[in-house]
Structure 1
Amino acid sequence: MSTVNVLRYSALALGAIIGLKTDLSLKSEAAKSSQQKEYAEKLKLIEQAKAEYARLHAPKQVEKQADTKLDLEDPNLDYGKVILSAVESLKQ
């Protein structure tokens, strides 16, 4: 009879240990999954913010040089753009 009791309590202890181990691993996996979801949501928000910022701060389209009057005395004149626009107009 004592052998049966030893086996019974050994099985009970083994079941309790396996149950605790399984419970801890499932909780750990759920926590990791939760953290990954939060991280993915944050990345999604960051991408949305970047897209919105890019939309709001888009570079303004440069007016064509042919439409505006060319003032060679202007100190802010970009000669590179003037030359490139002249070459572009010659290609057409």
Structure 2
Amino acid sequence: MSTVNVLRYSALGLGLFFGLQTDIGLKKAASKKQQQEAYDNKMKLVEEAKAEYAKLNPAESKEAAPASKAGEIKSINLEDPNADFGSVILQAVDSLKN
């Protein structure tokens, strides 16, 4: 009879162990899914905000800017972080040639 009790309680202990392990794994998966959904929602809001900002503040395209005439020196802002120094130098050289 003691062998049956050992097997019974061993099965009960293993069932509890695997049940707890499964429960912890499912909770982690649900937590990760919830965090991913929250992140996706935030990214969706950011994309919507970018689209709305672009609609309210249209950026001037580089192609739309009128071409500078030969000999005309365009004002140069060296503090601009988006300045293309290569084109500035080429414009200066072209203005010297003409």
For the criterion TM > 0.5, the same-fold answer is yes
The aligned counterpart of 1:36 is: 36
The aligned counterpart of 1:73 is: none
Q: CA deviation at 1:79?
A: 7.0
Whole-angstrom distance in 2 between the partners of 1:79 and 1:22: 68
Q: CA deviation at 1:60?
A: 6.2
Amino acid at match of 1:54: A
Whole-angstrom distance in 2 between the partners of 1:5 and 1:53: 71
The alignment's TM-score, normalised by the length of structure 1, stands at 0.66
Matched residue count:
66
Q: Which has the higher helix share?
A: 1
Whole-angstrom distance in 2 between the partners of 1:79 and 1:8: 89
Larger CA Rg, structure 1 vs 2: 1
Query: What percentage of residue pairs aligned between the two structures are identical?
Result: 55
The aligned counterpart of 2:24 is: 24
What stretches of structure 2 of length at least 5 have no aligned partner? Answer: 71-98
Whole-angstrom distance in 1 between the partners of 2:34 and 2:27: 10
Q: CA deviation at 1:31?
A: 0.2
RMSD between aligned alpha carbons? Answer: 2.1
